[in-house]
């Protein structure tokens, strides 16, 4: 049996990746529709190698009879249209930040808390976490199971694709302008992104942290364990795709590098690539197009009683967004629909 699936925000970076991932993983579909805002109606998007879909108007679309809605249209649009789809009987998997911290709505990373999916019946909506949280909790879960994580200190190095297509264009155009002595135009980022690093992702909160940093903290608690404390510094770097994270962990119980290696090696969704030699680790350009969360540079952090440091890299458009949503859809289809 196949499902009727609507992809909402189909022209964006994540929407396109959702369509590609649905096709690549051969998700059982009877029908797939691509939905977008009025100005994108009629635009063509690819579904797999040889199918092309024409975008329909989200505002006019009737979700009745559709089984799954994969949403990535922006938080304000999801706030209006996800509940409308859910009410029509379509289970929404929403990639925006709008529903993530709603206690009635499950926030799911299938390798970490798949059982939470069962809670979708409360509102017919499941939230997909933020990209930087997803890759972190995939790497942390096996270590938490082993020695209980107390505290996480993380610095991120996030690619511009997390900010959408315009952000990618801005990096390209600024880089070109620097070589061609043209003007540096800033629309999307508050500072020059080409050949630079910007310690701000999303808006500022009252306590001086940014919303991206806040998301990493509260989402980790909701998905993995409310007792884990997280402090994050989120930085945008001139990389097109692939988020990196330098993570310091403090555990309740002793844990050795060897034990961490064993746990990471057998953890779902994780690839451990850790040779202590030049190049014996994964960088963002190497993770592009891959489903895994890569862990490297595992070593003891001697500044706390039981500490480890690690480097975690993943394709933010795949595991950080589209793939995670489709893995949720797969669990849903297999166990609940």
96 binds ligand 2RA (CB under 6 A): no
Pull the structure tokens for residue 32: 């797939």
Set 243, 287, 306, 331: catalytic member: 243
Binds ligand 2RA by CB under 6 A, chosen from 69, 162, 242, 307: 162
* Of 237, 232, 312, residue with least CA distance to 269: 312
Q: Which residue is nearest to ligand 2RA (CB)?
A: 162
Residue 243: active-site member:
yes
123 is in an annotated binding site: no
Pick 89 or 289: Cβ nearer ligand 2RA:
289
What CA–CA distances, in Å, run from 260 to 82, 168, 236, 252, 296?
40, 36, 29, 14, 11
Q: Which of residues 207-266 bind ligand 2RA (CB under 6 A)?
A: 212
Strand order through the sheet with 125-127? 56-57, 29-36, 3-8, 68-71, 91-94, 125-127
Q: Pattern 110-149, binding to ligand 2RA, x per CB under 6 A?
A: --------------------xxx-----------------
Q: Are 217 and 231 in contact (CB under 8 A)?
A: yes
* Of 326, 276, 269, residue with least CA distance to 296: 276
Output the smallest distance, CB 234 to ligand 2RA, in A.
8
Contact region with ligand 2RA (CB under 6 A), list: 1-9, 41-49, 156-164, 255-263: 156-164
40 is in an annotated binding site: yes
161 is in an annotated binding site: yes
Residue 234: active-site member:
no
Set 90, 131, 234, 287: catalytic member: 131
d(CA 325, CA 248): 27
- Per DSSP, 206 falls in state T
d(CA 103, CA 291): 29
Pick 40 or 133: Cβ nearer ligand 2RA:
133
Pick 116 or 241: Cβ nearer ligand 2RA:
241
Q: Give how many residues touch ligand 2RA by CB under 6 A.
A: 8
d(CA 6, CA 25): 16
39 is in an annotated binding site: yes
Q: Pattern 169-208, binding to ligand 2RA, x per CB under 6 A?
A: --------------------------------x-------
Q: What residue has token string 């404390």? A: 229
266 is in an annotated binding site: no
Output the smallest distance, CB 191 to ligand 2RA, in A.
15
173 is in an annotated binding site: no
d(CA 290, CA 17): 12
d(CA 217, CA 304): 20
Buried-state track 120-137, b at ≥16 Cβ within 10 A, e below 16 = beebbbbbbbbbbbbbbb
148 is in an annotated binding site: no
Active-site residues, by number, are 131, 243
Write out the binding residues for phosphate. Answer: 100
Give the interface with ligand 2RA as residue ranges (CB under 6 A): 130-132, 158, 162-163, 201, 212
């Amino acid at each position: 049996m196949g499902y009727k699936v609507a992809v909402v925000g189909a022209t964006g970076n994540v929407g396109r990746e959702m369509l590609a991932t649905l096709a690549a993983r051969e998700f059982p579909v009877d029908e797939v529709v691509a939905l977008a805002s009025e100005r994108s109606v009629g635009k063509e998007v690819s579904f797999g190698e040889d199918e092309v879909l024409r975008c329909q108007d989200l505002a006019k679309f009737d979700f009745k009879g559709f089984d799954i809605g994969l949403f990535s249209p922006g938080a304000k649009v999801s706030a209006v249209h996800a509940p409308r789809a859910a009410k029509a009987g379509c289970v929404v998997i929403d990639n925006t930040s709008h529903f993530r911290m709603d206690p009635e709505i499950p926030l799911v990373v299938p390798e970490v808390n798949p059982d939470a999916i069962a809670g979708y019946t409360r509102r017919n909506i499941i939230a997909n976490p933020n990209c930087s949280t997803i890759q972190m909790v995939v790497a942390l879960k096996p270590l938490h199971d082993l020695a209980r994580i107390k505290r996480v200190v993380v610095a991120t190095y996030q690619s511009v694709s997390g900010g959408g297509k315009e952000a990618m264009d801005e990096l390209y155009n600024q880089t070109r302008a620097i070589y061609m002595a043209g003007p540096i135009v800033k629309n999307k980022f508050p500072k020059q992104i080409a050949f630079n690093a910007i310690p701000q992702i999303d808006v500022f909160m009252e306590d001086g942290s940014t919303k991206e940093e806040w998301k990493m903290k509260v989402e980790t608690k909701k998905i993995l364990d409310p007792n884990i404390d997280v402090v994050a510094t989120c930085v945008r770097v001139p990389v097109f795709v692939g988020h990196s994270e330098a993570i310091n962990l403090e555990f309740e119980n002793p844990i050795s590098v060897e034990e961490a290696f064993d746990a990471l090696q057998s953890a779902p969704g994780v690839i451990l690539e850790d040779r202590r030699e030049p190049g014996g680790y994964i960088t963002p350009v190497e993770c592009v197009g891959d489903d895994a969360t890569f862990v490297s540079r595992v070593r003891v952090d001697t500044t706390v009683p039981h500490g480890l440091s690690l480097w975690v890299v993943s394709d933010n458009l795949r595991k950080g967004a589209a793939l995670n949503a489709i893995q949720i859809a797969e669990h849903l289809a297999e166990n609940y629909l």
